[in-house]
């Protein structure tokens, strides 16, 4: 051994290099790894390195590939060995916990940019609420005329909100409207705006084929991280998700009309919806100031599964002549404390919408007595008497 050693150069050898180097230096007599596979991949190197470091106390070593002679004392090699083993141990523990622990799921998506497809009452309402809570929103529909009408409706709705919320501070109310409207942009080209959005909310007509075609098309243009949801009140979310390649990033967000006033959101999780997606949608619903409830992908979810059979039974009572529609409405308002009677609510929701829901459920389960169609309802829809939106349904509106 040389009397004086040159200055030490720190080195960070890989496990495979050290194993090979130790075997070449001392041959097969150096204690090797146990026959039973170790619990961590670096244990093999640990055994060989421990033996090598003890033997190396009185020798200088030459690492292959270093380009020159590298001197290291036994103490230095032992320290390097300990450092190497420690690093590997920490990495292995981190890797193991990331696979089996709570950290296995990726971080939730913070939804800030939203694209709403459909400028009707529901789409415009969702747009208003999202924009008023600090989200940037692109509202998409087929024509500029529809979008202009939607924008006007949002502004009028905001003024009603401001009248109550900022009654004592009109200037703050004007600022609120201005800020909310600045978060909203309009587009007639969905494919061109979904590439950078966090969340796509579909709120178009309740038509399975049209929704599937829309999602199939947008799936090609949206970023991989983007979550898709439908605001459907009756269709199966799973069937819609299957039209895309992002079933794990697909769910349901069922808002209630009028969206700015109704605090409930039903968050629907299909068997394929990831926990990350589900939690992101729950957080988004809360960020809107709504109260989310969760439900499996079952017909009608929670509210409509209970509400629609109630409405249909009211129609059947009227058809049988058990009571007039006026008396049924009065009875439910005064007797049950409901703000609307069933026929008032039917006209508000839309008779066409109710018929569509019932027809879909009847197709799925024709023997279910709650899913049976109504001749009176079918007749009114055939006559284009949909309720408030057409001026006549069960009641006439001026």
Distance CA 335, CA 159 (A): 34
My answer on whether omega of the bond before 71 falls inside 30° of 0, hence cis, is no
233 is catalytic: yes
Helix (H) or strand (E) holding 384: none
Q: What is the largest CA-CA distance in the chain?
A: 115
Name the phi and psi angles at 90, rounded to 5.
-65, -45
For residue 365, give Cα distances in angstroms to 140, 207, 268, 269, 344: 35, 19, 21, 22, 27
* Catalytic residue, candidates 304, 318, 344, 374: 304
**Residues 6+ away with beta carbon under 8 Å from 177:** 155, 158, 159, 162
Give the whole-angstrom CA distance, residue 210 versus residue 219: 14
Helix (H) or strand (E) holding 229: strand 227-230
Angle between helices 144-165 and 121-132 (to 10 degrees): 50
Please name the helix (run of DSSP H) or strand (run of DSSP E) that holds residue 139, with its range, or none: strand 136-140
- Known catalytic membership, residue 266: yes
Please tell me which residue in 45, 132, 233, 274 is annotated as part of the active site: 233
> Cα 62 vs. chain centroid, distance in angstroms?
57
Rounded Cα distance between 208 and 229, Å, is: 14
d(CA 285, CA 288): 5
Q: How far apart are CA 142 and CA 282, in angstroms?
A: 29
Q: Which of 80, 266, 274, 285 is catalytic?
A: 266
> Of the residues 254, 285, 344, 374, which is catalytic?
254
For helices 43-55 and 74-100, give the axis angle rounded to 10 degrees: 170
Which residues carry out catalysis? 233, 254, 266, 304
């Amino acid at each position: 051994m040389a009397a004086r050693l040159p200055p030490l150069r720190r080195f960070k050898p890989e496990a495979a290099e050290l194993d090979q180097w130790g075997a070449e230096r001392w041959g097969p007599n150096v204690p090797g790894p146990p026959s039973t596979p170790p619990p961590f991949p670096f244990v093999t190197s640990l055994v060989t390195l421990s033996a090598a470091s003890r033997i190396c106390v009185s020798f200088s070593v030459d690492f292959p590939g270093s380009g020159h002679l590298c001197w290291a004392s036994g103490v230095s090699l032992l320290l390097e060995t300990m450092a190497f083993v420690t690093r590997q141990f920490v990495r292995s523990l981190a890797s193991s916990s990331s696979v089996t622990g709570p950290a296995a799921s990726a971080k939730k998506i913070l939804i800030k940019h939203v694209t709403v497809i459909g400028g009707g009452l529901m789409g415009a309402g969702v747009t208003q609420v999202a924009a008023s809570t600090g989200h940037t929103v692109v509202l998409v529909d087929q024509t500029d005329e529809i979008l202009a009408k939607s924008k006007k409706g949002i502004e009028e709705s905001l003024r009603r909100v401001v009248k109550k919320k900022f009654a004592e501070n009109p200037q703050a109310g004007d600022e609120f409207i201005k800020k909310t409207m600045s978060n909203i942009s309009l587009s007639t080209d969905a494919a061109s705006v979904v590439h950078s959005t966090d969340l796509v909310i579909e709120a178009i007509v309740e038509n399975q084929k049209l929704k599937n075609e829309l999602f199939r098309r947008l799936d090609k243009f949206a970023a991989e991280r983007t979550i898709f949801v439908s605001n459907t009140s009756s269709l199966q979310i799973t069937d819609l998700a299957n039209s895309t390649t992002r079933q794990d990033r697909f769910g349901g967000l069922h808002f209630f009309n009028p969206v700015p006033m109704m605090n409930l959101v039903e968050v629907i999780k299909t068997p394929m919806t990831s926990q990350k997606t589900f939690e992101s949608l729950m957080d988004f619903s809360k960020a809107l100031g709504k109260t989310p409830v969760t439900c499996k992908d079952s017909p009608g979810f929670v509210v409509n599964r209970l509400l629609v059979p109630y409405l249909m039974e009211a129609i059947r009572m009227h058809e049988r002549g058990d009571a007039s529609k006026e008396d049924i409405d009065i009875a439910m308002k005064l007797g049950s404390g409901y703000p609307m009677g069933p026929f008032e609510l039917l006209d508000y929701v839309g008779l066409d919408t109710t018929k569509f829901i019932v027809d879909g459920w009847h197709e799925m389960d024709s023997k279910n007595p709650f899913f049976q169609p109504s001749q009176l309802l079918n007749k009114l829809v055939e006559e284009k008497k949909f309720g408030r939106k057409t001026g006549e349904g069960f009641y006439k509106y001026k």
